Structure 1
Amino acid sequence: QENKELFGLVIGGYGLFGVIYSVVLRLTSRQKVERIVEVITADKLPEAFEQRIQADFLYGDFQFSTNEKSDDFLYRGVFSCYRPVDSNTPLVKDQKELSEKQWNDLYYLSHADKVQAFRQYSTYYLSTTGQIYASDTHQLSIYLDDYHHELDHRLGTGEQASEIITEIYVPRPDLPDFLAEVREDFRANNVNMVYGTIRLIVQDTDCFLAWAKKSWACIIFNIDTVHTPEGLEHSANAFRRLIDMAIKRGGSYYLTYHTFARRSQIETCYPQFAEFLHLKQLYDPQERFQSDWYRFYRKMFATNDASAYSMDPLVWKMENSK
C-alpha cells in the first residue's frame, strides 16, 4: 500500500530501482503430484489446457517437434501435466529419469537428427506417465553447463554456435493459428529451431513493466545461432518477425532475452517503456543501479528513430567469449 509506484518498479524493474534486502513470502503447501503424459497436436492444445485446468491439474506444458521437414513441425508434441494426489501416495526411489549422457545425446540429436530426437524424447516421457513427484522438486533437472562447446566439436561443423531464447505471448485461442504462421515462416527462411515449449501465463497486475499483461499462451523458441555477424542477423530477423506475428494478434514478447526488437515493437508491446526510463531518472538520478540492458535502451530511446535496433552488446559478448 505504501509507495505503490516504486514497489511496482522495484519488483519488475530488472534491478534498476534498488536492492531488496528483506522479503516476507507467502508459501504454499508441498504436495505430491502425478505426471500424466500424452502426445497431441497443437490444434487441440487450447482445449486440452482448459480441460486439465478444469480437472484441477496444477502444472503443464507442451514440447513440440522441431523437425521442419516433417508435418509434425510445431504441431505434434508431448503434453505433460501434473495433478495432485493423496499425500500418502508413496514416492518411488528409482523412478525413470534421463541421465547426463542421455541429455547430452538428446542435445546432439536435436541438432543432427530431429526425427530421432523427438522419437526418443516422446518415448521417454510417455514411459513416465503415472510417476509421482514432490511439487517442489518435480521441475528440477540436470543442467549441462557449456554444453554447446562440446556439441560444436561433436557436430564437426567447424563453427561456434549457441542457442538464443525468446518468449512470445499470444491470446490462448490464437495459438494454433500463430504456430501455423511460424511454421511457414521458419521453413521459408531456414530458421534452425532446436527446442521449443508452450505453457500458460497468468496476468500480472503488480509490476510496472509487466511482461504478463494478460493471461496468454507463452511460446518459447530456442534458435541455433552461429557466432558470425551473418548468423546473428539471421536469428535477429527471425525474432523480429516473431514479435510482429504476436503484435498482429494483440500479443507481446519477453523484454530481456535479447535486444533485437525494433523500438517501434517495444513501444507497441510496452507502451509504458519511455515512462519507465523517465521514472528511472526520477528515482535514481545518479544512476547508481545500472546494467548493459539499461544502458542499451537508454541510448535507443534517446533517438527519434522508431526502427532503431542494435546487436552491438551481443556481438561484443560473443567476440570476448572466444
Structure 2
Amino acid sequence: MKKKAMASFLIGYTLLFTGSVYWHGQQFSQPIASDAGQLLPTAVKSIEQAEGEKQLQEMVRRANRTGDKLSIAGMQHSQGGHTYYPGGTIIDMKKYNKILQFDPKRQTITVQAGATWDDIQRRINPYGLSVKVMQSQNIFTIGGALSVNVHGRDIHYGSLIDTVESFRLLTAAGEIINVSREENKELFPLVIGGYGLFGIILDVTFSLAKDELYETHTRVIDYSQYSSYFQNAVNSSQVKMHLARISVAPDTFLREMYVTDWTNAKDEHKLTAYNQLKEDRIIAAPKLLLGLSRYSDWGKDKFWELQRTYMKKGNGKLETRNNVMRSETAFMEYESSSRTEVLQEYFVPVSEFADYIDDLRNVLENEKDFNLLNITVRYVGKDEQAVLSYAKVDMFALVLLINQGRSSKDMKQTEEVIRKMIDITLQHNGSYYLPYYSYPTKDQFDTAYPHSKEFFRMKRKYDPDERFMNFFYREYGQ
C-alpha cells in the first residue's frame, strides 16, 4: 500500500461514521443538510423537530399559508436527497417515537413513525414475537422503512408492505386520515414506497411473527450454481432466512459465493436460552481488513477470505429470529473528508442470475477505478402491491457497497459506471432500488418503473401545490 493511501486510511480509520447528518455551517446563514451519502449538502430554510400530532398538523397548515416546501427525515440513510429540498423545511421525525399499542395475542403493534426497529424488537422480544420484514440493520425509523418499502432476509415474505395493516397519514391539506387496504385504499400502495411525497406518516400498525430458534448453515459455491441451489435447496426446504455474498476480491471476482441459510432448530424448546438481544460490536479484524480493502486489491482478497472463513465457522450456530435480523455492522463505520460510501441495489430474476453476473463482470473488470467493496445477495419474492414496486417477478437483490470520491469528477466517473450496470440490469429484465443517489437516467427510471407516470400523477392529485418535496421528485417527477 502506498504511503499516501495508508495515511488516508489511518485517518479514516480513527473517525467514526456518523450516519445521518444535520449540521449548521458557520459560513452559511441557513442550515446545511446532508444525508448518509454526503454528496448533496444543501441549504435549507429550517430543521423542525416533530413533537406531537397537533404540532405537525399546524406545521403543514402554516406551510400552506407561507408556501414553504416540506421534507420528512428519519435516519437519512436514503442517499439521494430524499429527505430534504433546497430552501425547504425538514421535519425530523426521530423524537416522534412512541410505541402506542402492543397486542401480543393478536400479534400486532402500533408505533409512531420515528420509532426504530430496535425499539420494536426490545418491546416484543420478551413476548416471543418478532417482526416479519425489516432491513438488515435495526437502526432505521419505521416511517423511513415504509417510505422506501424495504425488504429483508425472510424468504417467505415479500416487501414490508405485506406486513402493514394500516397507518395514519397527515396529508398535504393538513388533515389526518386512516389508510389501509379498505380505507382510503388508493393511497395505501402510493404512500408505502412513496418516499415521503404524499404526506407525513404518523403511526403504523404491523402484524408480527413468532420468534423462532434457527440453526445456521453456510457453504461456498460457484456463482453459476446459485440459481439452481436456491430453487432446489432453499426455496423447497425448511429454510426460513437466506443471505449470500459474491466475491469482489480480484482472485475470485464475481465467481465465488458463500450462502447462508437459517433453518428451524431441532431444539426449538431452547429458544429462551438464546433470546437475549445481541448488541452491535466493533470487531477489530473485520473492521481493519474492510479498511484495507478500500485501498488495495490485497486487502480485498484478505477481507473475502476472512468473511468466508468467519461465516463457515458459524455452521450449526443457534440464533433466534430476532437476533438474525440484528446483524453486526459497526465494523463498517467509515468517515473521510474526501470520500464516501454509497449503495446501489439491483434486482434480477432468479433464472437470469448467472448470465447477469457474466455481463456485469465483463463491464466491471474494465473499470479499474471503480472501488466496489461488497455485494450482498438476498431474495425478494414477486410483490407488485406498491405502485413503485421493484419485484415484478421473483428476484435476487444485489446490494452493492461502493467507495467513491465526493468531487464532481469522482461523481461523474461513478455515474458512468452505474449507468452501464443499470443498462445490463434492464437487459436482464431487472430493476433497481430508488433510495440512492440519482445516478440513473430518466429513461432508465421509466423503464425500471413502468408505473412511474401514474405515481407522479397521483402525487399531484393528492398534493397539487407540491407541498412535500425532495430531490428524488425534482429529478424524476417534475
TM-score (norm 1): 0.83
**Contact 1:5-1:208 within 8 A present in 2 as well:** no
Contact 2:223 2:256 in 1 (8 A): yes
User: In structure 2, what is the Cα distance between the partners aligned to 1:298 and 1:26?
Assistant: 32
1:314 alignment counterpart: none
1:59 aligns with 2:241: yes
Which residue number corresponds to residue 346 of structure 2?
Answer: 168
Q: How does 1:307-322 map to 2 (within 5 A)?
A: none
Aligned partner letter, 2:216? R
Change (3 A) 1:92 1:256: closer
Matched, 1:123 2:309: yes
Q: In the aligned structure 1, how far is the partner of 2:451 from the partner of 2:213? A: 41
Matched residue, 2:410: 231
Matched with 2:145 is none
| Matched residue, 1:316 | none
Q: Give a deviation string over 1:3-54, Cα, whole Å, max 9, x none.
A: 3321111122111112333433221110001110111111111111121221
- Find the aligned partners of 1:106 and 1:35 in 2 and give their Cα distance: 24
Match of 2:469 among 273, 290, 303: 290
For these two proteins, the number of residue pairs brought into alignment is: 287
Q: CA deviation at 1:145?
A: 8.7
Q: Which of 134, 158, 169 is 2:320 aligned to? A: 134
Displacement of 1:92 in angstroms is 9.6
- Quick one: distance in 2 between partners of 1:246 and 1:43? 17
Provide the residue aligned with 1:19 in structure 2: 200
User: Which runs of 5 or more structure 1 residues have no equivalent in the other structure?
Assistant: 153-158, 300-322
**Distance in 2 between residues matched to 1:102 and 1:115, nearest whole Å:** 14
Letter in 1 for 2:241: Y
Counterpart of 1:40 in structure 2 is 221
Match 1:83 to one of 246, 250, 263? 263
Deviation of the 1:146 alpha carbon: 8.5
- Aligned-CA RMSD value: 2.2
Structure 2 match to 1:317: none
Counterpart for residue 179 of structure 1: 357
Residue among 426, 435, 438 paired with 1:256: 435
Q: Which amino acid aligns with 1:163?
A: E
Identity rate of aligned residues, in percent?
26
Between Structure 1 and Structure 2, which shows a larger proportion of helix residues? 1
Question: Match of 1:17, SS?
Answer: coil
2:397 to 211, 215, 218: 218
SS of 2:377's equivalent in the other structure is: strand
More strand by share: 2
Q: Which has the higher contact order (CA 8 A, sep 6+)?
A: 1
User: In the alignment, which of 279, 288, 296 is matched to residue 105 of structure 1?
Assistant: 288
Contact 2:217–2:261, Cα closer than 8 Å, also in 1: yes
Structure 2 gaps, min length 5 = 1-181
Q: Secondary structure at the match of 2:230?
A: helix
Within 2, Cα distance between the matches of 1:12 and 1:58? Answer: 25
Structure 1 residue runs of 4 or more that deviate by more than 4 Å after TM superposition: none
Contact 1:223 1:235 in 2 (8 A): no
